Amino acid sequence: MNFEKIVILDFGGQYTQLIARRVREAKVYSEIYPWDAPLATWMSGNVKGIILTGGPHTVTDEQARQCDRSIWSTHVPILGICYGAHLMAHVLGGKVRTADSGEYGEAAASLDVSHPLFEGRSPQSRVWMSHHDEIEGIPEGFKIVASTSNCPAAAIANDESQWYGLQFHPEVGHTEGGFEILQNFIYNICNIIADWDMASLAELSIESMREKLEGKKVISALSGGVDSTVSSVLVQKAIGSQLTCLFVDHGLLRKNEAEEVLSVYRGEMGLKVILVDARRRFLDALEDVTDPEEKRKIVGNLFIRIFEEEAAKLGGIDFLVQGTIYPDVVESGSGQAQVIKSHHNVGGLPDDVQFEGILEPLRLLFKDEVRELGRELGIPAEMIERQPFPGPGLSIRIMGEVTEARLRIVRESDAILREEIAKAGLARDIWQYFTVFLPVKTVGVKGDERTYANTIAIRAVSSADAMTAEASEIPYAVLRAISGRIINEIDRVNRVVYDVTSKPPGTIEWE
Ligand code: XMP
C-alpha cells in the first residue's frame, strides 16, 4: 500500500501499541517492527519518520538492545522516546547514567516552545515520566529543548539531522499536549501527508482484492463478532457471490444470538451464509469435560474440523478469509508472554488449513479502526458495537461440565442481565457484562420452602482494551433488580453474587 508511514521500532516498552495508535489517530499510517529488525526489512521510500520506543533495559549494559546502526544514515527524522532517547544519546556519543532514584509519574517541564517539536505548547507543561536512567551528557550537535527539575535533558534535539529524544512519554494521556507533540513531529518535522483513513483504505483494499481474486472461490467463517463480520463484508464488496460464508452454530451462543446475527447477515448485509447446526456435536464433545483449557481446545479443534468438512463439501475453494487484526500480528511476532488462556477466535483458523491462500484484510488495523471501517462499509451499528464474546462461548462461562440444562441457565440469566443493563441505560458504559454459572449449591428459602440450588455470578467490567479491567460500579438498585429477576425466573438458581475482581489479578472471563 502506498500510504506514507512512520515506522516504530519496539524496544519492549509497555506503550508501543499506544504510540502506533496515536500516530494513526493523526491520520498517518504506522507500523511496528521488533527493535532488531534489519533496516532492509522495513525501509522504503514511504517511510517518512522513525520512532524508537521505550523499553525496560539500560542502554549502557553490554546486552542492551541496539537497532540496526544504519538508521542513523537514512536521512529520515528519528524520534526516540525514553529508552529510544537514551539509545540515541548513547550511540551518537553522549552519556547516559543510571540515576540514584527513578522518576515515575507526573513532572513539571519547561519546554522551548520556539522549537517546532513544541509549537503551540504551553512553556510550562505537565509530562509523564517513567524511567530510571537519564541523559547526562548530550551528543555533539544536539541541544536541550525541555527540562524538569529532576531531569535537565528532558528533551534533546539535533535539528540538522532531524534527531529528537524525549525522556517523557508524549503518547500517554497524562502528558499535557502529548498528542500535539507527536503531531508536531509527524507534521512539522516528518512533513508527512495525513491520508490514512478508513475510506481510502477500504477503497484500496477492495480494489486490490478484486484483481487478486478474479475467478476465485473464497470462504469465510462468521462468528457474529466484529472482526469476522468486517473482513467478510470487505471481501464481499470486492467479489460478491464468489464469497461463501459459514456460520457454525456450536450451541454455545447467547440467547437468540444465532437467529439474530444470521438474519442481519442474510438480510441487511446480503451475505451468502451457510448455517451449520453443530449444537449436538459440540455438546457431545464436551461431555464430562471440566478443565478450562481442555474445553477451549475441544471447541477450537471441533470448529476447525467442521469448517474443513463444509469447505470440502463446497469444493474448489481457493482462499480463506481470516479476521486477524494488527495486535494479533504484533503479539505473535514477539511471543514473549506466558500463555494464560489458549485463545480461540471462531473467526480465525490456523494456517495449516489447505487453501491456495489466506486473506487477512484487517491485518493492519487496530480494533477501533476495524469498527470505523465497519461503519464506513455501512455495516449496521448493532453488529459493530457488540461486546466482545469469546470463541469458546458459553462453555467457559459454565464452571465444571457443560450440559444442556446449565447452558439454558446461563443463557437465561445472561438475557436478564442484558435486559436490565439496557433498561438502566448502562449498556454503552460497560465494556463487557455476562453471567457465570457456578455448580455450587447453597440453601435458600422461596416462599415458605427450603431451596437448595445453584449460584449465578455477575461479571461486568470497564476496560479500554481488555488487557486490564476494573469491576464496573453498577448501581445497587440495578444489581438488586437483576438478582431478583434471575432468582424468580430461573428455577434452579437461588443465589446471585457480584464479582468485584479487577484484571489483573483476575481475568475477565472466569475460565
Ligand atoms: P480474559 O478472560 O483473558 O479475556 O481477561 C480478555 C478478553 O478476551 C475475550 N476472550 C476471548 N476472545 N477468543 C476470543 O476471541 C477466546 O478464546 C477468548 N477468551 C477470552 C474475553 O471475553 C475478553 O474480552
Q: What is the pLDDT of residues 497-507, one digit of tens each?
A: 999 999 889 99
Mean pLDDT of 438-447: 95
Task: Determine the average pLDDT of the residues in 146-166.
Answer: 96
374 lines ligand 1 (CB under 6 A): no
- Structure confidence at residue 335 (pLDDT): 43
> Does residue 294 or residue 464 have the better pLDDT?
294
What confidence score (pLDDT) does residue 101 get? 80
pLDDT confidence of residue 337 = 45
Count how many Cα atoms sit within 13 Å of the Cα of residue 345 in the half-sphere of its side chain: 16
Find the mean pLDDT for residues 300-309: 91
Burial pattern 350-363, b for ≥16 Cβ within 10 A else e, equals: eeeeebeeebbbbe
Position 94 scores a pLDDT of 97
pLDDT band at 114 (very low <50, low <70, confident <90, very high): very high
Total residue length of the chain = 511
In one-letter notation, the amino acid at residue 477 is: A
Please state, rounded to an integer, the average pLDDT across all residues of the chain. 93
User: pLDDT-derived band of residue 510, with 50, 70 and 90 as boundaries?
Assistant: very high
Q: Which residues contact 242 (CB under 8 A, 6 or more apart)?
A: 213, 215, 216, 217, 218
Task: Give pLDDT, residue 356.
Answer: 84
Cell of 195: 491520508
- Average pLDDT for residues 208-228, to the nearest whole number? 94
pTM, entire model: 0.82
* pLDDT tier at 494, thresholds 50, 70, 90: very high
Query: Residue 336: its pLDDT value, please?
Result: 42
Q: Is 323 in the pocket of ligand 1 (CB under 6 A)?
A: no
Task: Tell me how far apart the alpha carbons of residues 114 and 323 are, in angstroms, rounded to a whole number.
Answer: 46
Q: Is there a contact between 450 and 439 (Cβ–Cβ < 8 Å)?
A: no
Is pLDDT above 50 for 347? Answer: no
List phi, psi (to 5°) of 78: -125, 130
Band of residue 349 on the pLDDT scale cut at 50, 70, 90: low
279 lines ligand 1 (CB under 6 A): no
Q: How far is the CA of 55 from the centre of ligand 1 (A)?
A: 27
Query: Catalytic site residue 169?
Result: yes
- The pLDDT assigned to 318 comes to 94
Atom of ligand 1 at shortest range from CA of 392: 17
* Beta carbons of 184 and 166 less than 8 angstroms apart: no
Q: What is the pLDDT of residue 304?
A: 87
Quick check: helix, strand or coil at residue 306? helix
Instruction: Using the atom order of ligand 1, give the atom closest to the CA of residue 463.
Output: 24
183, 23 Cβ separation under 8 angstroms: no
Q: Residues 6 or more apart from 488 whose CB is under 8 A from it?
A: none
Helix (H, G, I), strand (E, B) or coil at 230: helix
| 457-470: pLDDT as tens digits | 999 999 887 878 89
Per-residue pLDDT at 343 exceeds 80:
no
Enumerate domains of the chain plus CATH numbers.
5-189 (3.40.50.880), 198-384 (3.40.50.620), 398-499 (3.30.300.10)
Q: How far apart are CA 360 and CA 367, in angstroms?
A: 14
Q: Calculate mean pLDDT across residues 402-428.
A: 97
Half-sphere exposure of 480 (CA within 13 A, CB side): 3
Nearest partner of 133 among 8, 11, 32, 9, judged by Cα? 11
Catalytic residue status for 171: yes
Q: Residue 188 corresponds to which cell in the numbers above?
A: 512539522
Q: Which of 134, 171, 310, 420 is an active site residue?
A: 171
Residue 158: its pLDDT value, please?
Answer: 98
Active site residue 412: no
